[in-house]
Structures are given as C-alpha cells and as structure tokens.
Chain A
Amino acid sequence: MDAWVRFSAQSQARERLCRAAQYACSLLGHALQKHGASPELQKQIRELESHLSLGRKLLRLGNSADALESAKRAVHLSDVVLRFCITVSHLNRALYFACDNVLWAGKSGLAPRVDQEKWAQRSFRYYLFSLIMNLSRDAYEIRLLMEQESSACSRRLKGSGGGAPGGIENAGPGGPGTPGGGLPHLALKLQLRVLLLARILRGHPPLLLDVVRNACDLFIPLDKLGLWRCGPGIVGLCGLVSSILSILTLICPWLRLKP
C-alpha cells in the first residue's frame, strides 16, 4: 500500500498508468472488433479510450516547462553528440507538449476554431523527431560500448599470451592474415557483432529498456502520420509495452538511462 501511495504521488506515474490503460483499450477494441463482439461493448471501450486520451491531455498541461528545463540541463553535457541529441530531443518534446496543449484547448471547447487535424499532425511530427533523436543517442551509446568492449577483449587476448593475431572480435575490416574471406567471413563477422551487441545490451538493462521503449514508441507517430500504417492492433500493443517499460523505470529509478 505504501508503494502505491509513493508511486501515485508522482504526477508522471499517473499519466503513464493512464497511457497504459489507453493503449490497452485500443488493443482490446481492435481484438473485440476482429472477433466480432457486440457493438455496444466496442462503443464503451472507444468511449473509455477517448476519456483517457482527453484526461491525459489535461494531466500533461505544464510538461513543456519540464522538457525545456531538461533541455537546459542537457546543454552542460561534455560529449558533443550526446549534447546535441538529448537537447534537440527535449526541445522537440517541448514543442510536442505545446501542440498537445493547443489540442486540449480545442477539444475542451476553449478555442473551438483550432484545426484539430493540423495540430495533431504537427504534434506527431515533433514526437517523431524526438524519438529519432532518442534512438540516435541510443545507437551512439551502443557504438561507444561496443568499441570499449572490443578493445577490452583485444587487450585481454593480447595479455593472455599472443592469441589470435589482431583478434577476430576487432571491429576492423578483417584480420591481416585472412585472404579475401568473402561471404562466410562476412557472415561470421556479422554474427560476432550481433553477439557483442546482445552481450552489451544484456549487461546494461537501462540502455536495453530505452532502446525497446523508443523502438515501440516509434510505431505510433509512423502510423498516425501515414508513413507506415501498421494498424491499430500493433499501435496498441507497442504503446502498451512502452508504457509498461516507462512505468518500470519510474518504480525502479536505477533502470533509467542517465543523463
């Protein structure tokens, strides 16, 4: 009980729960439609989903300020690539929340002349940019870690008395001793790369969580903008998975990728 009280005292936690519920409703609605459930039940689920969506928009009022502050903080990072990626991502998030606030004003009747479609498209565009920046940042982190791991491996191989010349796990274009390997050689290298990637991600759960979350989230704006129509079922499932993962990072703060 104490855990629920502490968890629900954060406004972000409640918003994430509502998001999880919204995408669960969307997934449920799609499943019910496919299996031919009664139209009344479908209507109820759709109504609940729209209530959740509007409620979430209200809960998110004021998140622009949070995103701007995070962007301000991110400007002090020492690494140039990280600084660029994270700052631009937060700025795009701030713009996404601003568009979202305009949509709320339109839906709640305060500004009835707001063009809902136009502002919705705008908000999804900013959301997409911010997700792309997040994924670039994740890719950069993975690349740094892979370089670290492979250099550590080659140092270990050299230290253990000779070993393979150059080290097969080296990220170079191919060992000096291998004459024109061709396809099997490339396949072996690819396999090793994938194994290294798997090992890195397994050893750094915050990074893995962030990658999966951003990848799942990416389907939502892609579908809404019409770039890659995956259907409401996939969108619902991806949204639900990413909401559950972000709730996990709220419950266990050490699972959050910092900075």
Chain B
Amino acid sequence: MPSFRSPAPAAWRRLSNRHFRPPPEVREVPGRKARPPPRGRGDSICPAGDPATPWRTRDCAAGGTWPRLGVMDAFIRFTNQTQGRDRLFRATQYTCMLLRYLLEPKAGKENVVMKLKKLESSVSTGRKWFRLGNVVHAIQATQQSIHATALVPRLCLTLANLNRVVYFICDTILWVRSVGLASHVNKEKWRMWAARHYCCSLLLSLARDLYEISLQMKQATRDGAEREKSLPQDPPGYSVADEETEWLQSFLLLLFRSLRKHPPLLLDTVKNFCDILNPLDQLGIYKSNPGIIGLGGLVSSLAGIIIVAYPHMKLKMQ
C-alpha cells in the first residue's frame, strides 16, 4: 500500500509557512496554568496517561483540572470524527424517542410530538450515511480480535465482530432498498436478520464483559484476602441467615469496587446492556415500551460519546 504521507518539497513549505504571525506573548499570571500549545486535527482531546492506569490521565490522577482547551475547539475536534457525529445524532434520535413517549399521553402537545417524530425519522435516515462502508471496519476488527491473548475474549470478540459484519451487510441492503435502487428487497426479512445478528454480537460482547468482570473480581478478592491476613481476625459471632445476606452484600460490594476501578469496563458493559434492549424488542424476545428503548439508547449513546471524546476510556483488547 503506497504511503500517502510524502514530505512536501521545500518550495511548498515556504509557501505554507511564511504567513503566520508568532502568537502574542502570554504573560504568566501567578497561580494559573499556561495554555497548552494548539494541537493538530486528529489528536485526541485528552493527553496520554501513565502506563500503569492507562485509562487515567495524569491530570485526573493528580486531582487537577483537564487541560483548558476551548469548548469550540474540543467540539470541532469531536465532530470531525465520523463516530463522534454519529453518536451525537444517535443521542438526538433516542432523546426524541424518549420525549415522544413522555409527551404523547399529554393533551395539546400533538404538534411537538409530530415535530419530534419528524426529527427522529430524518436523523435516523441520515445516520445511514455514517454506516455505509462500516463492513470494512468490522472485518478489520475481526482480524484484530483473532490476536487476543486469552481464549474466552478471543472467541467472544471474533464471533461478535463476525456478527457485526453480517449486520452491516444487512444494513447496507436495507439502505439500498430505502434509497429506491432495489425495490424487490423484502424489508421485513432483512430487518429481522439485521436485528438477529446485532443481538448476537451484543450478547457475545456482554459475555466478554462478564468474563473481564469476573477476572477483576477474582483479582480484588485475592487482594482483599492478602490484606485480611495482615489484619487481626474478627471473633466469629454471626448466624447462618446473616451469612447469606453477608455473601450477597460482599458480592455486590466487590462488583461495585471492580467496576469503579475500571471505568472502561463499566462503560462498555453499560453500553452493551443498554444497546441490547432495542434488538430484543424488535425480535419480540423482550417487549418493552419506546420510553425504555429511548432511555437505553440515550444512555448508550452518551457512553459512546465519552469513549470517542476520551479514547483512553475505550476497553482495550489484551
């Protein structure tokens, strides 16, 4: 594959570099952090963190503030990425769905409900343009997930990505039908196929998340047991009934602690869990109302926005 990043000859660099004034001198105000130099396009919004806890930034760990980028700057960098824009539109789409569900029973709000419906349908149609060509993304992700080290994540991720490939193929066929290029396509059949494969891929991703959570909990138990060895033992004075509630409490506490220590895992689990409500409803396995689906979609879109805005919050494959 030829590299597209050839260095520009000296003459062009002269043409491009000669016109900018040096920025005005920034006077150091005592107690204020200096503004970081402007970044190029494509840089992530947050600086790289320390390798021990890669999902944390240095600033966060030190309890300091995020680097002070302008809000417009950060918004533009976010919306320059296809995924960023797509997540924003998805959040809008599901917010409309939720608002419609909440406002429909109320009298006198028919106009607003109709406008929300129109906005939702136009955003949903427009988002298809963001999904065209994602088959290639999914194939690449499949190739990458074959190289995972542990067996369970490797199996789960590869199968999940394969299901995503089929989902995107079905989605492309549905797009071709909706644009009017192939009117003989059976929309319902292909929609069911797409929902089925999307559901399978989310289930497999959730399986992988559960595996990672169990690993983290085992790790936390081991750490807890080591710490307890050094502490003096409590006298055993509890009954059998208390033992069960104790077990449940300590399990939930352990779960909460493991997830709190690893926000990427929490975000990914929440995202997959909220996403799965929609295909389950479409397939008729677990029928819920548009309000729940809208809320789930909104929460998962917000989680997705956080992941795009802060790339270190993405759950990495080991």
Contact = CB atoms under 8 A, between A and B. Distances in A.
Interface of A: 1-5, 8-14, 18, 44, 47-48, 51, 54-56, 58-59, 62, 65-66, 68-69, 76-79, 82, 108-110, 141, 145, 203-207, 251-254, 257-259
A51 B11 contact: no
Contacts of A47: 179-180
B16 A259 contact: yes
A55 B85 contact: no
B133 A11 contact: no
Interface in B101-138: 115, 118-119, 122-123, 125-126, 128-130, 133, 136-137
Contacts of A79: 19
B150 interface: no
Contact of B133 (A4, A56, A62): A4
Contacts, number: 123
Contacts of B19: 77-79, 82, 259
B82 A11 contact: yes
A141 B14 CA distance: 12
A11 B81 contact: yes
For chain B, what secondary structure do more than half of its interface residues adopt (helix, strand, loop), or is it mixed? helix
Nearest to A76: B21
A223 to B, nearest CB: 25
B139 interface: yes
B12 A10 contact: no
A77 B181 contact: no
B79 interface: yes
B82 A10 contact: yes
Interface stretch (B26-34, B68-76, B238-246, B294-302): B68-76
Contact of A51 (B81, B83, B179): B179
B119 A110 contact: yes
Nearest to B75: A65
Contacts of B119: 108, 110
B20 A259 contact: yes
Given A9-B81, A141-B15, A2 B140 contact: yes
Contacts of B12: 204-206, 254
B83 A9 contact: yes
Interface in B1-22: 1, 4-8, 11-12, 15-17, 19-21
29 contacts: A1-B139, A5-B137, A8-B82, A9-B83, A11-B80, A11-B82, A11-B85, A47-B179, A51-B179, A55-B125, A58-B126, A59-B129, A59-B130, A65-B75, A69-B76, A76-B23, A77-B19, A77-B20, A79-B19, A108-B119, A109-B115, A110-B119, A110-B122, A145-B15, A204-B15, A254-B7, A257-B16, A258-B16, A259-B20
B89 interface: yes
Nearest to B70: A69
Contacts of A54: 122, 125-126
A62 B79 contact: yes
A58 B20 contact: no
B22 to A, nearest CB: 9
B82 A78 contact: no
Contact of A66 (B76, B136, B179): B76
B179 A11 contact: no
B74 to A, nearest CB: 11
A258 B17 CA distance: 8
B4 A252 contact: yes
Nearest to B180: A47
B264 interface: no
B304 interface: no
A14 B130 contact: yes
B84 interface: yes
Contacts of A10: 80-82
